[in-house]
Structure 1
Amino acid sequence: MRAAIAGIGATDFSKDSGRSELRLAVEAVRAALDDAGLTPDDVDGMVTFTMDTNPEITVARACGIGELSFFSRVHYGGGAACATVQQAALAVATGAAEVVVCYRAFNERSGRRFGSGVRHREPSAEGVALGWVMPFGLLTPASWVAMAAQRYLHTYGLTPEEAFGPVAVTARRYAAANPAAYFHGRPITLADHAASRWIAEPLRLLDCCQETDGGQAIVVTSLERARDLPHTPAVIAAAAQGAGRGQEQMTSFYAGDLTGLPEAAVVARQLWRTAGCGPADIDVGILYDHFTPFVLLQLEEYGFCGRGEAAGFVAEERLPLNTHGGQLGEAYLHGMNGIAEAVRQLRGTSVNQVPGAERVLVTAGTGVPTSGLVLTAGDDAR
């Protein structure tokens, strides 16, 4: 049984929601069900992130959802985004559930600020890798990514401005035209990027994603059922998870090559094989942009261009990227808002619509075990 995304819903994206994370989750779930033309009584499965503070049964109770036959959580922060849809699709395909809601909600600006990094960590197997870098000041996500970014620039003889600037400018251009984006009406120039303050060299402020309060939900059901619902189904043509050999969380500094993302390569191989397509067949790329350098590395790992060529690829606009504004321009919702934008592109309802978009690649957080999706507007490959 094939699965499809039938509904998407979100709260407003802000820096101070004034609501609990539970309320944000409930608002997003209800909006997604309304969009799908379904009711809480139709839902029998839920998937979220291990980092989400809203238990499935609590969200279900608050939304008026009844019995659940499937519930699951995915680890590794933003790397979980596309994997929540994969879990939902697996549940639908195996008959474990008929309608599954994937959700993520947090007050990431007004509450716990992920960008502030590690403050206190109890001894654990998971924390061992961080123990090797924390004494040297590598305490925040920006500092971890800066290590790989600096190596990338050195290897390919690039400057931060020419390598990372086009990614930031592209995201903000799309965000400026998106009323839902936090940076609606506020594009930037390459000069603005170059003038923004250092965060962790070679990363500037405009290389770093936002901190956002908000929620996003996705409704997954069978393709057969989705065809009878109000919107054109976004067919899940492929879904994958991946972790590299010797993978750590954001601190795989002892890998053989810091200029790549091995976990993304694992996902890419699975997606292209399962979907029966390749980079040349993709109409829109929704690439996880927590930091600009990793957009470049993903383009290279997924085969859109050669090693060291991604900056030119972005500058030449050879593929529409993050047409919602991404996490740099719209909101940082751990990648879930990117999945929603992919659905809008396939429906033909994006504010930055790509004409004739039929196949969209969506990726999740990188530097950690990650995931990805290929979504299509119909059953047949080109």
Structure 2
Amino acid sequence: MTPLYGSTAVAGIGVRQYKRGTSPLPERGVLTQAVIDACADAGFDPADVDGFVSYGDDHNEPVRLMSDLGTRELKWSSMVWGGGGGGIAGAFGLAAAAIISGQASAVIVFRALVEGSSGRLSAAVMAHHLNDHMLAAGIVAPAQVCAIRANRMYEHHGVSRAVAEELVRASYYHGSRNPDAVAYGRELDLDAMRNSRWIAEPFRLFDCSRENDGAGAFLMVSAERARDLKKPPVYLLGCANGAEKGWGDLLENDDEALYPTAGFRPIARRLYADTGLSPADIDVVQLYENFSAQGVASLIDHGFCTYENVAEVIRFDNLIAPTGKLPANTGGGNFAQGFIHGIGTAIEAVKQLRGESANPVPDAKIGLLAGGPGAPTVSSAIFGNIVP
């Protein structure tokens, strides 16, 4: 086990989510509310927060939050590199490192996204991914980059496109039953999904995440301190981030074996080795799905299935709570819960392990959070409501 194993915990969560373009406050104001909510959830004074971590080129520099929060002293501020959502799980690892090393004692992990303040997310993401080779081929959007990778997985490795539909259906099933989700109260119309407009083949509209305004925040403290706070602690058991040789947007398709993957193969290996856990120990998965095929690739990379048996595992009835053996995106995921650069998947990871999910998984103890698939740097984390 590494020093990360069970040493820190999420003690409080806060989220504010709105339809894109309708936020009642600028981005920093919405983020401030989410941080205050996370502290209130834990019964913790926001002024005692002394560290901040984010990912995805968040624009909210922590020092600018101090006056709104009454921060007594800022001791730690850091960010996971990269414009995509690959760093979402890695942000929890950074926060834990600060706490374990004694450089901070109470760290907020956050992401905020309000279109009126920071513009469209897709443009920010492509600022990191675009290069002259892509531009010359007319590739200007994340959907196009991921579509080509998806076609490689479908055509070369023989993965059925129907598998991606099963993942989308499961997300919308959970979202329709989650009062906090954008899809709440609305069953997915399969004909509408199958005949929705093309975005970039093989992706139609419902294969794609769609942005929301909002912010999410998590209060992380030592495991010992968390046990004295208001809500049951959710322990960070392990976290891994990075990339293997041959991965990354400057290399793109140089390695034909890596190209159709989500980039998680070395991340998953390290994560399981560091925690002594395996895919069989995971009770529930919260999966960042920017596009449906990339969600499938992420589950393959994390060892839940292979190219050969993927259709046996990624089935609607196997993915839904409470009866599925691999319940995934129980809040609705980026497709149906809402998309604030993936922070909602982490919120659901904590809620599920605290017994607060709208779609509870019976006796769930261990959960996997997978970051944005296909990003140049990716990350995953394992959380537990126990320390096995």
Taking the TM superposition and a 5 Å limit, the aligned residue runs for 1:237-276 are 237-249=237-249, 252-257=252-257, 260-261=260-261, 263-276=263-276
Cα distance per residue 1:61-86 (max 9 Å; x no partner): 22222211111111222111111111
1:352 aligns with 2:359: yes
Equivalent residue letter for 2:194:
A
Q: Amino acid of the residue matched to residue 343 of structure 2?
A: M
Q: Which runs of 5+ in 1 are unaligned?
A: none
Asked if 1:40 corresponds to 2:12, the answer is: no
Deviations 1:79-110 (A, max 9, x none): 11111111110111111111000111111488
Q: Are residues 1:8 and 2:9 paired?
A: no
The answer as to 2:158 corresponding to 1:151 is no
Q: Could you say which residue in structure 1 is the equivalent of 2:131?
A: 130
Structure 1 stretch 96-105 or stretch 68-77: which is displaced more? 68-77
1:191, distance to aligned residue in structure 2 (A): 2.9
- Following superposition of structure 1 onto structure 2, how do residues 102-141 of structure 1 map, counting pairs within 5 Å? 102-108=109-115, 112-115=119-122, 130-141=131-142
Unaligned runs of 5+ in 2: 319-324
1:262 deviates by 6.3
Provide the rounded CA distance (Å) in 2 between the counterparts of 1:293 and 1:243.
20
**Aligned partners of 2:68 and 2:115: how far apart in 1?**
21
Tell me how far apart the structure 2 counterparts of residues 250 and 21 of structure 1 sit (CA, whole Å): 31
Deviations 1:187-231 (A, max 9, x none): 214433211111000111000001110000011100000000111
CA distance in 2, matches of 1:305, 1:22: 41
TM-score (norm 2): 0.91
Instruction: Tell which deviates more after alignment, 311-320 or 145-154.
Output: 311-320
* In 2: Cα distance, 1:207 partner to 1:73 partner: 29
More deviation, 244-253/327-336? 244-253
Work out the CA distance in 1 between the residues paired with 2:242 and 2:218.
21
| 8 Å Cα contact 1:40/1:66 also seen in 2 | no
- Alpha-carbon offset, residue 306 of structure 1: 1.5
1:60 to 58, 62, 66: 66
Aligned CA RMSD, in angstroms, stands at: 2.0
Q: How does 1:1-382 map to 2 (within 5 A)?
A: 2-15=7-20, 16-49=22-55, 51-76=57-82, 77-108=84-115, 112-115=119-122, 130-160=131-161, 162-249=162-249, 252-257=252-257, 260-261=260-261, 263-315=263-315, 316-317=317-318, 318-368=325-375, 369-379=377-387, 381=388
Is 2:163–2:314's contact at 8 Å kept on the other side of the alignment?
no
1:272-310 CA-partner distances (Å, limit 9, x unpaired): 111111001100001111111011111111111122433
CA distance in 1, matches of 2:109, 2:191: 39
Distance of aligned partners of 1:262 and 1:320 in 2 relative to their CA distance in 1, 3 Å threshold: closer
TM-score by structure 1 length?
0.92
Bigger Cα displacement from structure 2, 7-16 vs 233-242: 7-16
Paired AA for residue 372 in structure 1:
S
Q: Give the direction of change, closer, same or farther, for the CA distance of 1:364–1:337 in structure 2 (3 Å limit).
A: same
Q: Tell me, what secondary structure is at the counterpart of 2:218?
A: strand
Stretch moving more, 274-283 or 247-256: 247-256
